[in-house]
C-alpha cells in the first residue's frame, strides 16, 4: 500500500535529532557507563613482535597478583579458536608453536577486580618468542619469500574486463600513465572499542559499542561452543564507528566472553586508545598504476588499472573491501574499455578493513588525479572534462551495468559549479595568486560514484528487518537490525515511521538494536541503513496503518479510501479523531498493532570471472569543488572553501544529511592532509592523538556549501539512496587536486602532509 500523503509532513523537514539532548547532557549510556554487580575488568596481552613463533607462555606470576580472577590462553577456549568474518585465518588467542603475525595479535587475556590490576597482570604474563623476519611492505609480500600465511601472500585477486583496452588505447589521441599511493587511515572514533559480557543462567548477554550485532552473535557462540540462541547481543550507545566497529567488536566480544565464561562474572573489556590503535583495523594502503586514454575532445576511451592493497596480517573484511575498490577504480565515468586488476596481499602489519568509503577513496584519489592532470594536458576545463564523460540514464558503468534511473551525476556537476560560482571563483583564485608570492591557492575538483549497500558480492547479507509496535497510548516503538552509531539513523527512521503511520515525530522511539527482536539484518555499513531499514520500517508501518484505517472507516462508516491519517490526526472530511483515540479503540477491540517486516535486495547479476554485471542495487553521485591555500615556504596547506553537491535520491532529513556531509568532508580532508600512521618494524608508533593528527575545529574551512540533488530511486524509501560514505569520498581527491593546482606539481601520494608538500615544491 502506498503512502497516501500527497504532501509530506515530516520527511524533508527540519526535525530535532532524537538522541541530541541525551548526548549533549551526557546521559547516553556508552558501554563503559554500564555497571553490574561483581563486575571485573579485562586486559589483553599483545604480541611484542610483528612476526615471531610463540615458544612458551607463563601465566604463574600474573595469577599470583591479588585481585586477578583469570589469566587465559588458547587452551581455555571451549569452542573454536577462530575469528574472521570472511576468511577464517585469525586466531582469537595465538597458540604455542604458532606465529604471531603483527603487534596486535593477542596471546593471553586477563580479568581482575580493577583495570589497574588487570593491566598489571597482563604485563606480568611472560611470553617467550622465537623472532622471525617479518614482511613489512607490499613489495616484500609480492616476492613471496617469507609467507605471512602458509597459503601464500596473495589473499585474493579481482578483475574487470570490459571491452578491449588495447583497441581503446589505439583509438586514443592522448594516453596518460601514472602511479599513486594512498596510505592508512585510523578511524579515530571518540569512543574506543568496548564490550560488556554478562553471564546469564542459560548463556550470556553481550552489551557493546558496535555496528554489527549479528556479526557478534555469530562470533561469540563459536568461541564458546554454544548455540546462537543462548547469546543475546544488545548494542549500547555507540560513540562513532566509521567502519571500525564493523567486524572488530566480534573479536573484542570473543575475548570478553571468554573471560566472563571462565570467571562466571560480568566483565568489561574496554580498550585504551593505544591498544585500540595497535589492534584494530585501518583503511587499506593502496598502490595503483593507471593508464588512461582520451580522444582529443576529452572523451574517455580506455582505462587500464593495476592496484595492490596492503591487507595486513589477517583477511578480516578485505575481500569485500577489495570488491568495492574494484568497482570504483574507474571512477564515475562512461568508459567503453576497462581493465582492472587488484591484488590483496598479506603483510605482518595491522589488518586493514572497513572504513567509510570501503576501499574507494584510495582509487578515487587516483582516477580523479588522472582526470585533473588530463584536463591540463588536453586544455579542457576540469569541470567540462567530467561533464563530457559523466554517467547518465542509459550509460553503462565500468562493470557494464546499464543505468536506468536515479542518475543525478550531471546535475551534481552543474549544481556544484553553480554554488561555487565557478567562473568567478577561478578569477578570484588567479587574482589571489598574482598578488601573493608565498601563498598560492588552487582549485580542486572531484566527481564520484558510490554503489549503495553491499552489492553483488554481499547479496546473502543484503536484507533488513523491522519490528514496529504502536503502544496503547499511541506512542510507537521501533526495533531494527541496523544500528545508530552517531550517523543519525534513529532520526531518519523515526521520520519515516512518523510520515508513514501519520503519527507525530515526537511519539516515535527507535530502540537500540537487540538481536532478540529482529532477524539478522546484515551489517550496518555500506550506507545501507536508510535504504534497507528505512524500507523495512516503512513497510511495517504501512501494515499497521491499514489496520487503523479500516477500524476508523468501520466505526465512522466512511469509505476507507477517503480516510487520511496525518501528523497525529485521522480524518475523513469533517469526521476526525486523534491518533491516540483511534489506537485506544483498536486496542479495546483486540486489534494487533505490531508488525514485522523484511526488505531484501533484488537479485543482482554479476560475473566474478569478468567483473561485469549489476555490481550494486543503485548508485549515489557527488561533485566537489574546493579551494586550498598552500604556504610555499613551509608546505602548510589549508582548505579555504568547499562546494559540494550530492545526489541522495531524496533528502529525507536535510539537517542530518548536512551533518553527514560536513563530517565526511572533514574526515576526508584529514586523510588528504594530516593523518599519518607511522610504524617501526610494523609497530604503530602514532598510537594516540598526540601523534596521530586529525583535523580540529581550527582546521575546518571557513565555509562548506552543500547542495542536494534529488533524483529519486524507485526502490528507496520515499526515493532515498545513501550518504554515509559518499560524504567522505570526493574529499581526498578534491583536496589533493587543489594542492596540485596551487603548487603546479602533481600530488601522487596521500596524506599530502606538510613535509610531503614542501618536498614536492622544492623538487627539481
Ligand atoms: Mo562501512 S566502511 O561500509 O562500515
- Cα(624) to centroid of ligand 1, in Å? 21
Report the atom number in ligand 1 closest to the C-alpha of 526.
3
Q: What H or E segment, with its residue span, contains residue 433?
A: helix 422-435
- Cα(248) to centroid of ligand 1, in Å? 12
- Cα(22) to centroid of ligand 1, in Å? 26
Taking only the tens place, the pLDDT of each residue in 218-231 is: 999 999 999 999 99
CA distance 177 to 373: 10
Mean pLDDT of 365-377: 98
- Cα(430) to centroid of ligand 1, in Å? 39
Report the atom number in ligand 1 closest to the C-alpha of 724.
1
Q: What is the DSSP letter of 98?
A: S
- Hey, is 20 helix, strand or coil? helix
CA distance 516 to 235: 11
251: how many CB neighbours lie within 10 A of its CB? 28
Mean pLDDT of 724-748: 98
Mean pLDDT of 491-513: 98
93 lines ligand 1 (CB under 6 A): no
- Cα(672) to centroid of ligand 1, in Å? 19
pLDDT for the residue 86: 86
Taking only the tens place, the pLDDT of each residue in 387-401 is: 999 999 999 999 999
Alpha helices for 330-359 (secondary structure H): none
Pocket test of ligand 1: the residue of 215, 319, 354 to mutate, having most ligand atoms within 8 Å of its CB, is 354
354 lines ligand 1 (CB under 6 A): yes
Mean pLDDT of 78-97: 94
Mean pLDDT of 651-659: 98
Mean pLDDT of 468-482: 98
Q: Is the bond preceding 751 in cis, omega lying within 30 degrees of 0?
A: yes
Report the atom number in ligand 1 closest to the C-alpha of 241.
4
**Is 0.95 surpassed by the pTM of this model?**
yes
713 lines ligand 1 (CB under 6 A): no
- Structure confidence at residue 541 as a pLDDT band (50, 70, 90): very high
Strands 508-510 and 564-566: unpaired
Taking only the tens place, the pLDDT of each residue in 7-55 is: 899 999 999 999 999 999 999 999 999 999 999 999 999 999 999 999 9
CA distance 525 to 243: 7
- Cα(306) to centroid of ligand 1, in Å? 23
pLDDT for the residue 2: 44
pLDDT for the residue 764: 79
Report the atom number in ligand 1 closest to the C-alpha of 523.
4
- Cα(480) to centroid of ligand 1, in Å? 18
526 lines ligand 1 (CB under 6 A): yes
Residue 734 contacts residue 383 (beta carbons within 8 Å):
no
Q: Is the pLDDT of residue 293 over 70?
A: yes
Pocket test of ligand 1: the residue of 453, 489, 526, 671 to mutate, having most ligand atoms within 8 Å of its CB, is 526
Q: Whose CA is nearest to atom 4 of ligand 1?
A: 243
- Cα(423) to centroid of ligand 1, in Å? 36
606: which strand partners? 613
Residue 366 contacts residue 290 (beta carbons within 8 Å):
yes
Mean pLDDT of 239-260: 98
Mean pLDDT of 368-386: 98
- Cα(161) to centroid of ligand 1, in Å? 26
Through-space distance between the first and last CA atoms of the chain, rounded to whole angstroms: 67
- Cα(9) to centroid of ligand 1, in Å? 31
355 lines ligand 1 (CB under 6 A): yes
pLDDT for the residue 278: 97
- Hey, is 497 helix, strand or coil? helix
- Structure confidence at residue 3 as a pLDDT band (50, 70, 90): very low
- Structure confidence at residue 6 as a pLDDT band (50, 70, 90): low
Q: What is the DSSP letter of 712?
A: -
Q: Is the pLDDT of residue 487 over 90?
A: yes
Pocket test of ligand 1: the residue of 243, 283, 452 to mutate, having most ligand atoms within 8 Å of its CB, is 243
CA distance 425 to 440: 14
- Cα(532) to centroid of ligand 1, in Å? 15
481 lines ligand 1 (CB under 6 A): no
Mean pLDDT of 297-302: 98
246 lines ligand 1 (CB under 6 A): yes
Pocket test of ligand 1: the residue of 525, 529, 531, 664 to mutate, having most ligand atoms within 8 Å of its CB, is 525
Q: What H or E segment, with its residue span, contains residue 6?
A: none
544 lines ligand 1 (CB under 6 A): no
Q: Is the pLDDT of residue 96 over 60?
A: yes
Pocket test of ligand 1: the residue of 356, 461, 620, 727 to mutate, having most ligand atoms within 8 Å of its CB, is 356
Q: Is the pLDDT of residue 186 over 70?
A: yes
356 lines ligand 1 (CB under 6 A): yes
Report the atom number in ligand 1 closest to the C-alpha of 354.
2
- Packed helices 654-673 and 360-378: angle between N→C axes, nearest 10 degrees: 80
SS3 for 244-313 is: CCCCHHHHHHHHHHHHHHHHCCCEEEECCHHHHHHHCCEECCEEEEEEEEECCCCCEEEEEEEEEEEEEC
- Hey, is 136 helix, strand or coil? coil
Q: What is the DSSP letter of 461?
A: G
Share of the chain above pLDDT 70, in %: 99
- Hey, is 163 helix, strand or coil? coil
State CA 286 to chain mean position distance: 17
> Which residues, at least 6 apart from 460, have a Cβ–Cβ distance to it below 8 Å?
none
Residue 526 contacts residue 722 (beta carbons within 8 Å):
yes
> Which residues, at least 6 apart from 375, have a Cβ–Cβ distance to it below 8 Å?
298, 381, 382, 384, 385
Taking only the tens place, the pLDDT of each residue in 267-277 is: 999 999 999 99
Using alpha carbons, select from 508, 496, 505 the residue that is nearest to residue 567: 505
CA distance 630 to 646: 27
Q: Which three cell numbers stand for residue 542?
A: 504501512
- HSE on the CB side for 103, CA within 13 Å? 17
SS3 for 582-640 is: HHHHHHHCCCCCEEEEEEECCCCCEECCCCEECCCCCEEEEEEEEEEEEECCCCCEEEE
76: how many CB neighbours lie within 10 A of its CB? 16
- Cα(276) to centroid of ligand 1, in Å? 18
- Cα(201) to centroid of ligand 1, in Å? 35
Strands 703-709 and 637-647: parallel
- HSE on the CB side for 480, CA within 13 Å? 36
Residue 482 contacts residue 524 (beta carbons within 8 Å):
yes
450 lines ligand 1 (CB under 6 A): no
CA distance 571 to 566: 8
- Structure confidence at residue 85 as a pLDDT band (50, 70, 90): confident
Report the atom number in ligand 1 closest to the C-alpha of 211.
4
Tell me the pLDDT of the chain averaged across its residues. 97
CA distance 442 to 619: 29
641: which strand partners? 627, 703
37: how many CB neighbours lie within 10 A of its CB? 6
Report the atom number in ligand 1 closest to the C-alpha of 528.
3
Question: What length is written for the chain?
Answer: 764
pLDDT for the residue 315: 97
- Cα(243) to centroid of ligand 1, in Å? 4
Taking only the tens place, the pLDDT of each residue in 148-162 is: 999 999 999 999 999
Report the atom number in ligand 1 closest to the C-alpha of 524.
4
45: which strand partners? 108
Report DSSP letters for 369-413, one per residue.
HHHHHHHHHHT--HHHHHHHHB--TT-B-TT-PBP-S---HHHHH
CA distance 176 to 153: 31
Using alpha carbons, select from 205, 193, 224, 196 the residue that is nearest to residue 516: 205
Taking only the tens place, the pLDDT of each residue in 665-680 is: 999 999 999 999 999 9
Report the atom number in ligand 1 closest to the C-alpha of 527.
3
Strands of 62-143 (E only): list them.
68-72, 99-100, 106-112, 126-131
Report the atom number in ligand 1 closest to the C-alpha of 245.
4
- Cα(152) to centroid of ligand 1, in Å? 27
Torsion of CA 394, 398, 401, 404, to 10 degrees: -30
Hey, CA dihedral for 284, 286, 292, 298, is it positive or negative?
positive
Amino acid at each position: 500500500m502506498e503512502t497516501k500523503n500527497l504532501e509530506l509532513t515530516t520527511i524533508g523537514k527540519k526535525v530535532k535529532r532524537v538522541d541530541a539532548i541525551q548526548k549533549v547532557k551526557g546521559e547516553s549510556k556508552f558501554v563503559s557507563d554500564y555497571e553490574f554487580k561483581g563486575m571485573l575488568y579485562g586486559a589483553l596481552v599483545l604480541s611484542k613482535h610483528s612476526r615471531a613463533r610463540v615458544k612458551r607462555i607463563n601465566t604463574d606470576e600474573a595469577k599470583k597478583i591479588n585481585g586477578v580472577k583469570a589469566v587465559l590462553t588458547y587452551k581455555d577456549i571451549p569452542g573454536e579458536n577462530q575469528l574472521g568474518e570472511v576468511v577464517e585465518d585469525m586466531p582469537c588467542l595465538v597458540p604455542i608453536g604458532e606465529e604471531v603475525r603483527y603487534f596486535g595479535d593477542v596471546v593471553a587475556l586477563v580479568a581482575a577486580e580493577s583495570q589497574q590490576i588487570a593491566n598489571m597482570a597482563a604485563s606480568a604474563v611472560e611470553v617467550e618468542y622465537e623472532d622471525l623476519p617479518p614482511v613489512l611492505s607490499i613489495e616484500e609480500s609480492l616476492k613471496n619469500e617469507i609467507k605471512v600465511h602458509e597459503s601464500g601472500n596473495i589473499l585474493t585477486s579481482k578483475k574487470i574486463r570490459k571491452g578491449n583496452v588495447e583497441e581503446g588505447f589505439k583509438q586514443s589521441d592522448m594516453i596518460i600513465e601514472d602511479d599513486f599511493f594512498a596510505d592508512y587511515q585510523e578511524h579515530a572514533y571518540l569512543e574506543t572499542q568496548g564490550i560488556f559480557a554478562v553471564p546469564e543462567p542459560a548463556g550470556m548477554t553481550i552489551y557493546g559499542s558496535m555496528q554489527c550485532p549479528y556479526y557478534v552473535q555469530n562470533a561469540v557462540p563459536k568461541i564458546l561452543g554454544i548455540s546462537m540462541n543462548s547469546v543475546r547481543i544488545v548494542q549500547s550507545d555507540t560513540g562513532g564507528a566509521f567502519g571500525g566497529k564493523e567486524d572488530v567488536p566480534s573479536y573484542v566480544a570473543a575475548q570478553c566472553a571468554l573471560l566472563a565464561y571462565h570467571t562466571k562474572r560480568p566483565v568489561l573489556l574496554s580498550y585504551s586508545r593505544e591498544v585500540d590503535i595497535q589492534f584494530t583495523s585501518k583503511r587499506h594502503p593502496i598502490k595503483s598504476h593507471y593508464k588512461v586514454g582520451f580522444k582529443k575532445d576529452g572523451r574517455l576511451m580506455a582505462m587500464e588499472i593495476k592496484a595492490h592493497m596492503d591487507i595486513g596480517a589477517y583477511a578480516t573484511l578485505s575481500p569485500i573491501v577489495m570488491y568495492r575498490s574494484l568497482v570504483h577504480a574507474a571512477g564515475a565515468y562512461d568508459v567503453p574499455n576497462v581493465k582492472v586488476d587488484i591484488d590483496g596481499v598479506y603483510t605482518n602489519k595491522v589488518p586493514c578493513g572497513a572504513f567509510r568509503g570501503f576501499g574507494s577513496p584510495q582509487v578515487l584519489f587516483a582516477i580523479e588525479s588522472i582526470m585533473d592532470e588530463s584536463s591540463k594536458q588536453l586544455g579542457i576545463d576540469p569541470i567540462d572534462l567530467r561533464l563530457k564523460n559523466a554517467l547518465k540514464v542509459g550509460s553503462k558503468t565500468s562493470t557494464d551495468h546499464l543505468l536506468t534511473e536515479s542518475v543525478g551525476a550531471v546535475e551534481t556537476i552543474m549544481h556544484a559549479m553553480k554554488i561555487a560560482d565557478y567562473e568567478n571563483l577561478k578569477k578570484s583564485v588567479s587574482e589571489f595568486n598574482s598578488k601573493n608570492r608565498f601563498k598560492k591557492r588552487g582549485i580542486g575538483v572531484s566527481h564520484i560514484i558510490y554503489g549503495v549497500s553491499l552489492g553483488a558480492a554481499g547479496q546473502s547479507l543484503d536484507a533488513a528487518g523491522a519490528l514496529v509496535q504502536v503502544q496503547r497510548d499511541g506512542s510507537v516503538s521501533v526495533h531494527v537490525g541496523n544500528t545508530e552509531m552517531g550517523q543519525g539513523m534513529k532520526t531518519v527512521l523515526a521520520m519515516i515511521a512518523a510520515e508513514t503511520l501519520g503519527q507525530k515525530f515526537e511519539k516515535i522511539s527507535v530502540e537500540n538494536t537487540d538481536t532478540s527482536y529482529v532477524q539478522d539484518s546484515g551489517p550496518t555499513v555500506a550506507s545501507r541503513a536508510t535504504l534497507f531499514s528505512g524500507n523495512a520500517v516503512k513497510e511495517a508501518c504501512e501494515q499497521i496503518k491499514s489496520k487503523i484505517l479500516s477500524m476508523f472507516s468501520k466505526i465512522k462508516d466512511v469509505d476507507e479510501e477517503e480516510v487520511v491519517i496525518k501528523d497525529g490526526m485521522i480524518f475523513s472530511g469533517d469526521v476526525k479523531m486523534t491518533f491516540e483515540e483511534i489506537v485506544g479503540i483498536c486496542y479495546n477491540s483486540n486489534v494487533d498493532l505490531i508488525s514485522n517486516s523484511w526488505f531484501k535486495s533484488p537479485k543482482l547479476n554479476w560475473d566474478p570471472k569478468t567483473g561485469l554485471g549489476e555490481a550494486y542495487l543503485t548508485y549515489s553521485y557527488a561533485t566537489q569543488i574546493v579551494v586550498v591555500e598552500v604556504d610555499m615556504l613551509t608546505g602548510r596547506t589549508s582548505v579555504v572553501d568547499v562546494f559540494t553537491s550530492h545526489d541522495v535520491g531524496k533528502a529525507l532529513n536535510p539537517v542530518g544529511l548536512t551533518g553527514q556531509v560536513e563530517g565526511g568532508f572533514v574526515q576526508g580532508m584529514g586523510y588528504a592532509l594530516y593523518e599519518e600512521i607511522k610504524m617501526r618494524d610494523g609497530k604503530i608508533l602514532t598510537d594516540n592523538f598526540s601523534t596521530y593528527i586529525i583535523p580540529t575545529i581550527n582546521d575546518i574551512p571557513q565555509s562548506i556549501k552543500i547542495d542536494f540533488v534529488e533524483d529519486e530511486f524507485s526502490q528507496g524509501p520515499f526515493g532515498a539512496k545513501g550518504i554515509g560514505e559518499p560524504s567522505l569520498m570526493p574529499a581526498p581527491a578534491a583536496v589533493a587536486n587543489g594542492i596540485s593546482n596551487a603548487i603546479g606539481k602533481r600530488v601522487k601520494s596521500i596524506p599530502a602532509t606538510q613535509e610531503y608538500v614542501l618536498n614536492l615544491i622544492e623538487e627539481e
